[in-house]
Amino acid sequence: MNENGDFRSGQDFSSLDHLKKNVKAWVVSNNRNIRVIESESSKYVIQCTNGVERGCEWRMRAIMTATGSFMIVQYKGHNQDCSAHYSDDHPVLTSDFVVDLIVDMIRVDPAFKVKNSGAMGSPIDPTRVMFQRIFRAFGPSIKGFPHYRPLICIDGTHLYGKYKGTLMIAVAIDVNSQLFPLAFAVVEGESNDTWRWFLECIRHYVTKRDGLCVKSDRHKGILHAMNRVEKGWEESYAFYRFCKRHLALNVHKKFKNIATLIHDGGHRYGVKTTNMSEAFNGVMKGAGVSQSLHWLG
């Protein structure tokens, strides 16, 4: 780049991926946005998104050289102030992009600390409180649950799109065997800590009913959370039961054609699987990540 931190003709990058990373870092730090015109194995052409609407002539053309690197062969800078005026949510500022930047810094300096990530030139501010998790349980669900079976199904599903993470849900079932949404959370992933936090939120904000049956798959994080003493989830405050479908599949996978007989003391209330929580997860995923987060907020 030149002395103004801009690109220049003749500038060489080790690969197309290396060039794209530098372009992303530049548009974020300069509050710009670009449109890809051509992107091939040997050619990469981009221009400013304001090229048509506002007449900006910013444009870059790069081609692969004989050595496999990518060189900028044509470059024209901005001829006006056409910054996109993004706040903290630039379209290219994805989690993968941030990770790539941090990894590059760690390669240069293995002692790099997270608090120094603000030096990347992106909107990340280490002094700002950043979103980590969110828990929601609506008033009608909390008030209605005491009149339903003392049983909940919990499950987690991956979120796809720009923002990664896991959607956790807890659902109950009414006398007509219909789903009753109870609580939701968006967390960074399934782990001992996130499942502990989700179940603690349910006990604190939703229900303190004794004898509550919790049904799920055998995720280690759920097992860990349910086995913590004096947290309201140990017997006889609650009873933990595995989904029979998951259990049968696991037994068949390990022991092949051996039949499975189980006894659970009647705490399942006729519900044998986690199908209802998985079905509701499908509804949430079908609504899309952005809509789900907007609804939860």
Indicate if the pLDDT at residue 79 is higher than 90: no
Average pLDDT of the chain is 77
Please state, in angstroms and rounded to a whole number, the distance separating the CA atoms of residues 243 and 91: 40
Which has the higher per-residue pLDDT, 63 or 126? 63
Beta bridge partners of 186: 134, 167
Judged by average pLDDT, the poorest of 56-60, 193-197, 281-285 is 281-285
Global pTM reads 0.51
Higher pLDDT residue, 106 or 223?
A: 223
pLDDT band of residue 193 (cuts 50, 70, 90) is very high
CA geometry: angle at 18 spanning 14 and 19, to 5°?
A: 95
Provide the pLDDT confidence category of residue 95 given band limits of 50, 70 and 90.
confident
How many CA atoms lie less than 13 Å away from 60 in the CB half-sphere?
A: 30
CB 239 within 8 A of CB 265: yes
Confidence of residue 266 (pLDDT cuts 50, 70, 90): low
Supply 109's token pair. 């300096």
Q: Per-residue pLDDT for 5 more than 80?
A: no
How many angstroms separate the CA atoms of 192 and 45, rounded?
Answer: 46
Does the pLDDT of residue 216 top 60, yes or no? yes
Q: 259-283: string of b/e by CB count within 10 Å (b at 16+)?
A: eeeeeeeebbeebebbebbbebbee
- Please, which pLDDT band fits residue 159 given cuts at 50, 70 and 90? confident
Residue 127, pLDDT > 80, answer: no
Position 151 pLDDT exceeds 80: yes
Question: pLDDT above 70 covers what percent of the chain?
Answer: 67
Helix, strand and coil percent figures for the chain, each rounded to 5: 35, 25, 45
Model confidence pLDDT, tens digit, residues 230-250: 888 888 888 888 776 556 566
Separation CA 211–CA 206 (nearest Å): 15
What one-character DSSP code corresponds to residue 80?
S
Query: Domains in the chain, ordered, with CATH?
Result: 1-91 (no CATH), 94-129 (no CATH), 134-296 (3.30.420)
Weakest mean pLDDT among 38-42, 64-68, 162-166, 214-218: 162-166
Q: Can you tell me the distance from the alpha carbon of 291 to that of 97, in angstroms, rounded to the nearest whole number? A: 23
Distance CA 283, CA 297 (A): 17
Give the pairing of strands 43-48 and 34-39: antiparallel
H helices of 111-219, in order, are 139-144, 192-201
pLDDT, tens only, 40-61:
999 999 988 876 666 788 899 9
Q: Say what the pLDDT of residue 69 is.
A: 92
The reported pLDDT for the residue numbered 53 is 62
Cα 64 from Cα 44, distance rounded (Å): 9
Answer whether residue 164 shows pLDDT above 60. yes
- Find all residues with CB under 8 Å of 188, minimum gap 6, and list them: 132, 133, 165, 166, 194
Question: What band does 120 get if pLDDT is binned at 50, 70 and 90?
Answer: very low
